Structure 1
Amino acid sequence: RGFVARQQEDSVIANGTFLLSTRGFPTLGYRGSYELSDPRERRKRGLPGGSAAALEGADAHGAVDSTLDEWVETALTVSTSADQIALAPGNLERTWERGGRRWFRYRTGAPILNRFAISSGRYAVARRQQGHVALELYHHPAHAANVAHMLDGAAAAVDLMERRFGRYPHRQLRIVEIPSYWPMAGFALPEAIYLREDRGFLTDTRDPGRPDLVARRVAHEVAHQWFGHRVHVVDQEGAAVIVESLTKYAELLVVERLRGREHVRQLLEIELDRYLAGRAADSYPEVALYQADRQAYLYYNKAAIVLFGLRDLLGEAAVDHAIRGLMQEPRPTSLALVRHLLAVAKPEQRPLVASWLREVVLYDLRVAATTAHRRTDGRFDVTLRIAAGRSRVDARGTEQPLPLNEPIEIALTAEGKVLDSRKHVLRQGMNVIRVTLETRPSEVTVDPWITRIDRNPVDNGQGF
């Protein structure tokens, strides 16, 4: 018959065991994650809807997956080969040898969600202390090239998340390398994040001009210790916005701290491209961001742009305040996120906040023409003609023009140096912008930091 991907059981192997609790431990209750999720497959079998409940209306209800919804404390004794280290959630209480094997006793010091993993391997170990959190990185001895960089990213992420979103409740955070055949790039579980060898440890990071995918992945999984583990959500439409979109936002904040805003701009270019490609390929109608459920191009890619756009619009302190408010709710939904963001917005900003979160909105921003004339005093009078438009897309894919009256940044540069970058109010149609500069510009860019979902970003810039 040949080989079939993932047919064999490969959780327990000679070196690099990764055993999820859902595969190795019995559970009581109903596991909604086993339901068919594809709406077409459900319709074929006469089944209603999908596994995620509606946020609003008569179909709204709570979680359907009771097996993963519990907070537990664990005390685990794990035995492994004599030359390996076994890992489990909690504090390592003791280790000993018996019968030619090594034994490890772990006990959690605070409740965790009932989803965890046990791993074992011939690991090399790197350690770093970040405040009260011991960072431990377990990796194949030959895969050490990115270890220091990963610890830098983890330390920066823990520091940022604690300062802005609350204390990490455990003594340690472990980063563990797992084999490349696992279907995820990374996976956050209580007190540990698991990264595939080929999606972090073996990534070539030598070119400083390329996106820093290693720091990005580490920061993302660390942020899940807050969004996904500390903040636990109801299994409803929009749950991914709390678990994944806020994590995506935190990931970019960490990368910005490590590499600067220009590096984040590069990453947002990738997010915009993936969002546009995702919506073009999707056979289902696009929903508003707050309803995102199965469409990863929404709760990952679009969300990154929208949340960074909200930071630009509302200010970083306001967005942080909204997220902290959300975190105080026992079982928040994406509706609560919308409510908290609207609460920190000024009255004149609220329609735009609601539009970005509760509607599908696209922008068309284009540099139509540029001129730069030298004055008698040596300065330059610069004239820009900017075409601007905004539209709403309904459930049938029909576009309806919307009024536009928004402050959007326009940057003028010369050989990579910023000469002038400020917000100008752009309205529907053709806008004429005039500025005076000391130096002749060589290029203009509308929305240089990618705060709007522009369907054709290529025409956002033009030379002189």
Structure 2
Amino acid sequence: MMPSERHHVKAAYEKRYLHWKDKAQPVVTHIQANVRFYPLRGIADIALSLTLTNHSNSRIDKILVGAHPDFTPENIDVEGATLNHYDVYTQQREFDLVNSLLPGQSKQLNVALQVANKNLWTSPTHHVIRKPFSYLRGVPLIPSIGFNRYFTLTDSSLREEAGLPALQYPIASALTASNAEISAEAQTVMVTSQLTAPVGYFTLAPGEKRKQWTEQDGDEHTMTTLYATREPIRAIPAWIATEFTHAHEPAVLADKSVEVNLIAADNEEAKDVHLRAATQTLAWFEQHIAPYPYAQLTFVFAPDLGPSGYALPQVLIFDHLLAMRTTPMEDGFDQRYRRAVHEVAHQWFGHQIGFGLPADSAFLVESLAKYVELVMLEPRGTMNKLVEYEARRYAHYQQGNTTPPVAFINGTETADVYSRATLVFAELRQLVGDKPITDTIRALFERQKSKGKPVAAIDFVRLLLARTNRVHHKRIQQLFLEES
């Protein structure tokens, strides 16, 4: 689907289904996935069974189920429901329940679909099925339930062109308990995955390996592996099957050992750099923030799929060229180590906090990860090199920037989220030290756990002010909240 057509679909979706926004809908609490890879044929067959649970205080009689227009399911059915309407253009299905879904009750939604390689692909970085390497990200393969804000247009000019009203989201610095809209994305899920691939392939899914067996599939000898999570994770599972080499190394921490899997780590020196970054970052979080909650962490050094690094729950994907074929700069600044630290940090920032509030900025995800970079590079003697690097990048951005100034936590541009974040946290560390910052981050996790609702960027600022001397408050407010 071309971008222009995608815009039309999104506009039609909002016009036809906005009235579902305030209707009580169940949320996905458990994903059971059966994924069968056929790498030589470039396809994968996927069967999903989603547990839908009514967490509202209202009875539910109708359920809206949406599929991504580029991944048309072969079948979708809801337990104890009849299909009332199927909108082919927007891929929305309205189901009527035979018996109301009462608060606390659950239903199963079953989906069957096939994913195939295409020459023109909508999401080339997240769906590829090839002989040496296959990777499928659960989003957008997993159907959405109820009205989905992420299916709508956000560009103001495109909205005006489509006859849609301007969005009324508050800016990040103005979010409050009363105006912060919480999306279904905030719900974490348990995941069980059964992956089948030809014998000789290494498969990977969220959670721990529970069982493995071989079977004959026609002329092909296959291996099936069952994975299951011990605790809920953010609902963006990934399923991988690869012939690339894989190694297992322990990251020994104070309280436990984490198994680090390294796929396609074919350069020993580079592998050691990434393993060292993983071990040291996991240890820092264990000491200062919270222990890593899982037993495994996997580094996948993939073919060039787009991003230099990308984090999913328990899985980190890196561009193979940048991770395995580059070397440190002459001054000792190693982008491989920095990038690995950043992506490991997303196991906390982005997958434990920082999601579920569509109006919030990327501060809790990307900017806090930049803070961790500073902390981890300092003992290596290259923290100042990072600051200098980001200062140059931010200065270059400002030279060509014609947009009005924004407060740091309201920034959406890459330069604000990454480069400006580095400069802000470098100054903040000099101003108040690390303890108030790490105390604030721990308080964020505690607040989200106790309230059961996502925390926001503005919560960080408020909690930081409560943990620092008043003499620093003016400068802290300037750094985070003043438009500049």
Deviations 1:2-27 (A, max 9, x none): x9874586522211111000143333
Give the whole-Å Cα distance in 2 for the aligned partners of 1:174 and 1:307.
28
Which residue matches 2:423?
Answer: 305
Give the whole-Å Cα distance in 1 for the aligned partners of 2:168 and 2:300.
31
Which residue matches 1:229?
Answer: 351
Aligned amino acid, residue 271 of structure 2: V
Which residue matches 2:208?
Answer: 91
Which residue matches 1:359?
Answer: 482
Number of aligned residue pairs: give it: 352
Which residue matches 1:256?
Answer: 378
Correspondence for 1:20 among 128, 137, 142: 137
Which residue matches 2:434?
Answer: 316
Which residue matches 1:440?
Answer: none
2:291 matched to 1:172?
no
Which residue matches 1:157?
Answer: 281
Which residue matches 2:403?
Answer: 284
Instruction: Quote how far apart the aligned CAs of 1:109 are.
Output: 0.7
Correspondence for 1:217 among 327, 336, 339: 339
Contact preservation (8 Å) 2:212, 2:223: yes
Residue 144 of structure 2 aligns to a residue in which SS?
A: coil
Which residue matches 2:317?
Answer: 194
Give the whole-Å Cα distance in 1 for the aligned partners of 2:175 and 2:214.
59
Instruction: Quote how far apart the aligned CAs of 1:192 are.
Output: 1.5
Which residue matches 1:128?
Answer: 250
Alignment of 1:262-277 (within 5 A): 263-277=382-396
Cα–Cα, structure 1 residues 123 and 266, in superposed 2: closer, same or farther, change >3 Å? same
Give the whole-Å Cα distance in 1 for the aligned partners of 2:168 and 2:312.
22
Give the whole-Å Cα distance in 1 for the aligned partners of 2:168 and 2:260.
37
Which 4+ stretches in 1 moved above 6 angstroms? 57-60
Cα–Cα, structure 1 residues 12 and 27, in superposed 2: closer, same or farther, change >3 Å? farther
Deviations 1:364-420 (A, max 9, x none): xxxxxxxxxxxxxxxxxxxxxxxxxxxxx4xxxxxxxxxxxxxxxxxxxxxxxxxxx
Cα–Cα, structure 1 residues 158 and 61, in superposed 2: closer, same or farther, change >3 Å? same
Cα–Cα, structure 1 residues 287 and 143, in superposed 2: closer, same or farther, change >3 Å? same
Cα–Cα, structure 1 residues 220 and 64, in superposed 2: closer, same or farther, change >3 Å? same
Contact preservation (8 Å) 1:18, 1:118: yes
Instruction: Quote how far apart the aligned CAs of 1:300 are.
Output: 1.0
Which residue matches 2:40?
Answer: none
Which residue matches 1:69?
Answer: 186
Instruction: Quote how far apart the aligned CAs of 1:272 are.
Output: 1.2
Instruction: Quote how far apart the aligned CAs of 1:201 are.
Output: 2.2
Instruction: Quote how far apart the aligned CAs of 1:53 are.
Output: 4.3
Give the whole-Å Cα distance in 2 for the aligned partners of 1:140 and 1:82.
18
Cα–Cα, structure 1 residues 50 and 177, in superposed 2: closer, same or farther, change >3 Å? farther
Residue 123 of structure 1 aligns to a residue in which SS?
A: coil
Task: Give the percent of matched residue pairs that are identical in Structure 1 and Structure 2.
Answer: 24
Give the whole-Å Cα distance in 2 for the aligned partners of 1:59 and 1:328.
16
Residue 171 of structure 2 aligns to a residue in which SS?
A: coil
Deviations 1:12-47 (A, max 9, x none): 221111100014333323333333333333343343
2:227 matched to 1:103?
no
Contact preservation (8 Å) 1:318, 1:344: yes
Correspondence for 2:466 among 343, 354, 363: 343
Identify which of structures 1 and 2 has the higher relative contact order when contacts are C-alpha pairs closer than 8 Å and 6+ apart.
Answer: 2
Give the whole-Å Cα distance in 1 for the aligned partners of 2:348 and 2:123.
34
Contact preservation (8 Å) 1:71, 1:111: yes
Aligned amino acid, residue 403 of structure 2: Y
Contact preservation (8 Å) 2:180, 2:359: no
Aligned amino acid, residue 15 of structure 1: P
Cα–Cα, structure 1 residues 13 and 144, in superposed 2: closer, same or farther, change >3 Å? farther
Contact preservation (8 Å) 1:238, 1:333: yes
Aligned amino acid, residue 347 of structure 1: R
Cα–Cα, structure 1 residues 310 and 65, in superposed 2: closer, same or farther, change >3 Å? same
Residue 236 of structure 2 aligns to a residue in which SS?
A: coil
Residue 447 of structure 2 aligns to a residue in which SS?
A: coil
Gaps spanning 5+ residues in structure 1: where? 361-392, 394-464
Gaps spanning 5+ residues in structure 2: where? 1-117, 449-453
Residue 326 of structure 1 aligns to a residue in which SS?
A: helix
Contact preservation (8 Å) 2:408, 2:481: yes
Which residue matches 2:362?
Answer: 240
Which residue matches 1:47?
Answer: 164
Give the whole-Å Cα distance in 2 for the aligned partners of 1:203 and 1:52.
42
Cα–Cα, structure 1 residues 267 and 232, in superposed 2: closer, same or farther, change >3 Å? closer
Residue 348 of structure 1 aligns to a residue in which SS?
A: helix
Residue 396 of structure 2 aligns to a residue in which SS?
A: helix
Instruction: Quote how far apart the aligned CAs of 1:52 are.
Output: 5.7
Deviations 1:111-144 (A, max 9, x none): 1011110011113223123222423233226444
Cα–Cα, structure 1 residues 8 and 310, in superposed 2: closer, same or farther, change >3 Å? closer
Residue 74 of structure 1 aligns to a residue in which SS?
A: strand
Cα–Cα, structure 1 residues 16 and 30, in superposed 2: closer, same or farther, change >3 Å? farther
Which residue matches 1:443?
Answer: none
Cα–Cα, structure 1 residues 64 and 321, in superposed 2: closer, same or farther, change >3 Å? closer
Instruction: Quote how far apart the aligned CAs of 1:98 are.
Output: 1.1
Give the whole-Å Cα distance in 1 for the aligned partners of 2:468 and 2:440.
10
Cα–Cα, structure 1 residues 129 and 16, in superposed 2: closer, same or farther, change >3 Å? same
TM-score where L is the length of structure 1: 0.70
Give the whole-Å Cα distance in 2 for the aligned partners of 1:222 and 1:57.
28
Cα–Cα, structure 1 residues 128 and 234, in superposed 2: closer, same or farther, change >3 Å? same
Q: Which has the larger radius of gyration?
A: 1
Give the whole-Å Cα distance in 2 for the aligned partners of 1:24 and 1:47.
27
Residue 170 of structure 1 aligns to a residue in which SS?
A: coil
Contact preservation (8 Å) 1:42, 1:49: yes
Give the whole-Å Cα distance in 2 for the aligned partners of 1:125 and 1:250.
28
Contact preservation (8 Å) 1:93, 1:106: yes
Residue 105 of structure 1 aligns to a residue in which SS?
A: strand
Aligned amino acid, residue 264 of structure 1: M
Which residue matches 1:116?
Answer: 237
Cα–Cα, structure 1 residues 57 and 156, in superposed 2: closer, same or farther, change >3 Å? closer
The Cα RMSD (Å) is 2.5
Give the whole-Å Cα distance in 1 for the aligned partners of 2:372 and 2:200.
38
Give the whole-Å Cα distance in 1 for the aligned partners of 2:345 and 2:176.
34
